[in-house]
Chain A
Amino acid sequence: MSSADLAPKPEGILDTELDAESLRRRLAETWKTRSGLVGFLSSVDHKVIARRYLITALIFLCLGGLSAVAMRVQLSGPERGLIGPDLYNQLFTMHGVTMMFLFAVPIMQAVGLYLVPLMVGTRNIAFPRLSAFSYWVYLSGGVFVWVSFFLNMGPDIGWFAYVPLSGPEFAPGKRADVWAQMITYTEVSSLAVAVATIVTVLKQRAPGMSLDRIPLFVWAILVTSFVIVFAMPSVMIASSFLILDRLVGTHIFNPAEGGDALIFQHLFWFFGHPEVYIIFLPATGMVSAIVPTFARRPIFGYLALVLSLIAVGILSFGLWVHHMFATGLPKLGASFFTASSMLIAIPNGIQIFCWLATLWSGGPLRLKTPLLFVFGFFFIFVAGGLTGVMLASVPLDLQVHDTYFVVAHFHYVLIGGAVFPLLGATYYWFPKLTGRMMSERLGRWHFWLAFIGFNAAFFPMHIVGLWGMPRRVYTYPVELGWGGINLFITAGALLFFLSFVLFVINLARSARSGEAAGENPWDAGTLEWAVSSPPPNYNFARIPVVAHSEPLWAERGSMPVAAGLRVDAREVLISTVAEAKPDLREKSARPSIWPFFSALSVGGTFLGSIFTPWAVVWGALPIAVSLIGWFWPKGAPEDEE
């Protein structure tokens, strides 16, 4: 038998045979997520999964924020007895791991998961079941670590869990194991989304969307996904080695038996520094989407921006040692990493100048809330970048290492560089997700409260850090005279927290009764605005054909499309990597409950492995069964070719 001998498959119903109304009806039926509990657990729609990610990440943001508020209240005056050292250790660890692993990375990937298929003009993410699986693994990891915290088993070793502090000798009990397995959960889910995103961008772009027409947000998510693929295995290796040392008695980090503690720091920061860019790069993509829309012109320096994104992605792997300047490295090594740390300021600077040039040379600026947050980002991120250049210098770093100066620096970079653009992006894309506009009035209040609150909370930390206040102390003596400034910081932190309360109120009110948005309320140029708000489950009734980087601006009122896909089975268009020429009509997976079962069995195995290494052996059976269930064809047209 040869390919010609394969039994002929039914052609199915093609969209060319249907009028617009019946086309939409048939597609909605084919792409629908079933109702009921099984339907809920089986959904593979990228929009549904992304919405779950977004809501879950917001809940974790709230928990991470509350732990910060608790710490700030404790530090608001000297020698307060509200929180003891043990709980304080857990709180700052939970704050760090929650913000980094359960909020920042997942929410950035979730925005990508929602928007990338819409922006590249396809009907679903590649490997939709893998994305569904990733969400359940992420959720179980987050629940696991927070339940552990409430059981007084929360990790208390800092978000980077250095050995020997986290090793078997100095961290008895299960707290460090909880940290290590939480890493495994979140990194598995993050890697899964990264792979699905890469393949979607490379292979599912609308015809004509050549590399130079890919929206910058999509470029940013693509580069981020590559950074994830090469960075996250490092922290998984580090946390797996740690758990092996703790649970089965290996000696990888034990200097007494030929191991080494410093290799943990190398492995952690080889991931940890790119991690900053995993959070920051999608945010730059958001800025690159918001700026042209409100400046009324295509982005200035598209090529420079793409190359900057790629350069930042690559350079992010060459900086990790600057987190380890205080470990006594050879001088030449330290100098190399000083130079590379300063080098990365160049592509980041290029991006800032391109955005400014776009704003400068565009039409009259529309100063709406999304753009306000972008301005906030410019101000705060540049300030954080400048202290970053300062910290790249070894003598200065040694002086302020582990002080509040560093805390101020990375909050300026992470909140300024990622959270402010994310908030702007929320105001910008909320209409697409819900069909309703967010309140501008509340939005402006939100912005100014956040901007003032943030700076009031974090700017003084530079000063108190230079005075010598170390991070991760649960209190300080009266005689040091840090009380006044810490009270001021706490007031700023409460103001900043209040801004988020306002944000949540705005989200809830607008989702219920905001002004109707229509397809394209901002008159933006990229493809996600070509579909209704919220988008139908099949995204595009016909796949758009792209001839311009802002297709909706190039041709107003009408859109060139492609026809000839099946409507009775989930079919997506596969195109070539560089030029996006149409190549194949492939099937996209139907909803399935097996990714949920797979996540349950994988999650159960991770959980059990904290208590006995045999869990890995016993867990293998349910994992194998659920994976076979996932991949075994069920006779649906999508399972065949």
Chain B
Amino acid sequence: MKLKLVDISYKRILYFALLILLTLNVFDSAAQQRFPKPEFETGHTQPPTLTPEPRAELLEIIDVGVLILSLSLITWFILKKRSRKGVFWMSIFSIVYFGFYREGCVCSVGSLQNITLALFLPEYKIPVTVIAFFVIPLIYTLFFGRTFCAGICPLGAIQDIFVIKPYSLKSWANSLLGLFPYIYLGLAVLYAATATDFIVCRYDPFIGIFRFNGTFFMLVIGGIFLLTSIFIARPYCRFFCPYGVLLNIVSRFSGKHMTITPTECIQCKLCENSCPFDAIQKPVLVNVLDNRRTTVKRFIQLSLIIPLLIFLGGWTGSRFHENLASVNPKVRLANVLLEENNEINEDTQVEIDAFKSSGNTEGKLYSEAASIVKDFYTGGWILGGFLGLVFGLTLAGLSRFQYRTDYTPNKGTCLSCARCMDYCPVRPGKETEFTID
């Protein structure tokens, strides 16, 4: 045993000798290795260092092609064929292709953060495919309504097949919960613009399911959303999706939006409860129109408090800028280093050690963190102001009545799923039978 120990210490001495030689820079830079590779006498050939190639770029371009094709196809199914079946099979396709085969990344929902970051950080390189995934669904929605949501977005499609027994929500609940996507969008933009984090990707509920692999948290959240979708249809799309906010706004100006009836509404009320997303607008009763004067007055009064709400929101947002900024890793590290006598856990210690070995000075870190916090102050004002505006517009919108005689889809919230079409008894060929002049 003793002999062995001596043996090892002899080797150690050899190592130290080599180390000293190295520090003296005896070897030239090309052969800067402590232990040069041996020349084998037995003719041993060394195995190659394997570096598996990433997914081929051609496949990424094909993905964009498939997106355009499937969007065109589903739009044709909705607007021309008026076929719910077609939409259903398209959603199955996109769950399989964009979900399970392509494994979900990058998706249009997440791409809005890349776009934001690219706009705010000039040196950030954004792949062309990400731009395509952001722009193409927006353009389609601008002209044909939210056909992307209907069955191309894998996140929506996977929830849609779970819609089994949807319950209608009260309109105040819809309006209130409908505010949450704006908050989520605002936060996502704030954190992407400050290059802090991509929160939409971090809290993507379905990516783990598509990959059959993910953290426990991811899979649990995904499961909760899918189970909720049985009773409250598509909860993520309606009450969380930040990209849905953009599509909602854009869809209101859509040129050829889906209609419930192929020709003219006969007021049969059959479609009234057919929408699982509460997106069908009922005809506005005449007596509501009667006190038009008071409603207009109320609308103006409510609109007047919007500037106040914007200011209040902005002020509140700016108060919280330090809390918002504390998510940023640089700000967090600077806070830890500045605070004395606090308990440092193992995780934080790793970060402190890494920072110290990186060779950056603390002064540089502090000034960087300070500038990030300053960005968050401005961002807090903008975020709060934006939310105040949204809140005010929602309030004012509650007292806005539009004269309507027919059952029509709400162009903003309608997901173009085509369910209501099957409830409409009017058939395009028999239009004369129902026409009322």
Pair from one complex: no
